[in-house]
Structure 1
Amino acid sequence: MLELFVSAFITFFVVIDPPGCAPIYASLTSDASAKLRRDMAIRAIGIAALILAIFALFGNNLLNALGITLDAFRIAGGIMLFIIALEMVFEKRTERRESRAQAVADDDEAEDVSVFPMAMPMIAGPGSIATIMLLFSQYEKLEDQLVIGGALLSVLLLTLFALLAAGPLLKLVGQKVEAVITRLLGVILAALAAQFIIDGLIASFLPVLQNASEVPLAVLLG
């Protein structure tokens, strides 16, 4: 259980990236009052948690309705996470987040940033949605899913703390240290994504290889 919690916690932490969300939130809410910043941070976490819970509980049913196998989703989700990892290593993800935040900041009518862009797509984005669906499909026992949910809740609480302490945290950490941390997390995420892809490929092709090994050589040669 502890191993699963640590693995899920690290995965969610890397994908959601609380240290990366903090400076974006600080820049978006620089003109807001302390109470409004607190309310928007709590609202963003609550909405993101609801979105992720919906995909965790009903994501598999959606895949079944679309005729998509879990192994295919593991491979696709792994590829998606690997792309995110590459963007983290080369700081492309940070640039995209900053440009999105700037677009919101330039819009005078966009005062409440709790729903967009904070809750979605920054916290409950494609990466975190794919991760929660992958983990819930891989661990189908209720106790395992509760552990995964606990890991997600822990990361969301850390994200809430990072948003609330965004200003002081940014001054304490600094942009250079944040960039180093982001790249290290990107390397870890790349390894986790590769494991998802490997597991999906093995589950997809191992039965085919086993069946082929049972066929006599004369039949294969015609």
Structure 2
Amino acid sequence: MAFPALFSIVNPLGAALIFAQVTAGRSRAECVALARTVAFYSAMLMIASIWMGGTILSFFGITIDALRIAGGLVVAVRAWSLLQAPETEEARKQAQASQGGLSATRTNGMELAFFPLTMPFTVGPGTIAVAIALSSEGSTGVSTVMFYGILSAAALAVACIIWIAYAYAEQLMKLLGTTGTRIVSRLVALILLSIGVQILISGVQGVVMSMARNVVQLTH
């Protein structure tokens, strides 16, 4: 579930169209370099969330099940809003990427590579929550290192798609157009909603099982 979950929450195809708008006027070489940098930063953020998420949760005393419920709700609510009104989501992303109306063409694009183009435009709180929730699922049948390695590979694959989508954002915008983008956005939102519900169910199941074990222990 790692790759579709991360891909759906990031939605690189939809984000690429906004990336093309905020980098309009820049040379092809600058756009490609900026896309590569944003993809690199995105990969680092996702991988850091995967590997360090458990430590952060322990530090703040947050249980895994609580994170799953919260993360599932965040993802589901965001997916529902995107499913109902993709135009509103596009406007929000546009505002984030443009840094409050300041176009990337008015300054050095690399200065905007991490903020706001990577965080929160490409990899926002929802993506980080999903990455931590995925890492909290625990390894089954494989070693812990292999488990985290597989999750990291999924994050790298999503980062590669971000790189390609952003680098060819103008061509993608011409190919899909506004209508095509909204169709893709709604399909992605539906998948994202299902993933959010699945994460939420996992959290609720964990809480119920924990309560059941406590009751059994008390009765004995």
Q: Same fold (TM over 0.5)?
A: yes
Residue type of the alignment partner of 1:8: A
- Assess, with a 3 A threshold, how the Cα gap between structure 1 residues 156 and 199 changes in structure 2: closer, same or farther: same
> What percentage of aligned pairs have identical amino acids?
26
Number of aligned residues: 210
Say if 1:104 and 1:110, in contact at 8 Å, map to a contact too. Answer: no
Which residues in structure 2 correspond to 1:1-150 (within 5 Å)? 7-89=1-83, 90-91=85-86, 92-102=88-98, 103-105=101-103, 108-109=106-107, 111-112=109-110, 113-140=112-139, 141-150=144-153
Unpaired segments of 5 or more residues in structure 1?
1-6, 217-222
Report the Cα distance in structure 1 between the residues aligned to 2:190 and 2:49, rounded to whole angstroms.
Answer: 26
Unpaired segments of 5 or more residues in structure 2?
none
Say if 1:49 and 1:124, in contact at 8 Å, map to a contact too. Answer: no
Deviations along 1:138-169, whole A, 9 cap, x unmatched? 13422222222112211111111000100011
Q: Counterpart in 2 of 1:154?
A: 157
Report the Cα distance in structure 2 between the residues aligned to 1:106 and 1:46, rounded to whole angstroms.
Answer: 19
Secondary structure at 1:115's aligned position in 2? coil
Q: CA RMSD in A?
A: 2.0
**Offset of 1:96 from its aligned partner?**
0.5
- Assess, with a 3 A threshold, how the Cα gap between structure 1 residues 157 and 107 changes in structure 2: closer, same or farther: closer
Q: Counterpart in 1 of 2:197?
A: 194
- Assess, with a 3 A threshold, how the Cα gap between structure 1 residues 106 and 40 changes in structure 2: closer, same or farther: closer
Query: What's the TM-score once normalised by structure 1's chain length?
Result: 0.87
Secondary structure at 1:139's aligned position in 2? coil
- Give yes or no for the alignment of 1:208 onto 2:207: no
Say if 2:97 and 2:121, in contact at 8 Å, map to a contact too. Answer: no
Larger Rg: 1
Query: What's the TM-score once normalised by structure 2's chain length?
Result: 0.87
Secondary structure at 2:25's aligned position in 1? coil
Report the Cα distance in structure 1 between the residues aligned to 2:5 and 2:102, rounded to whole angstroms.
Answer: 28
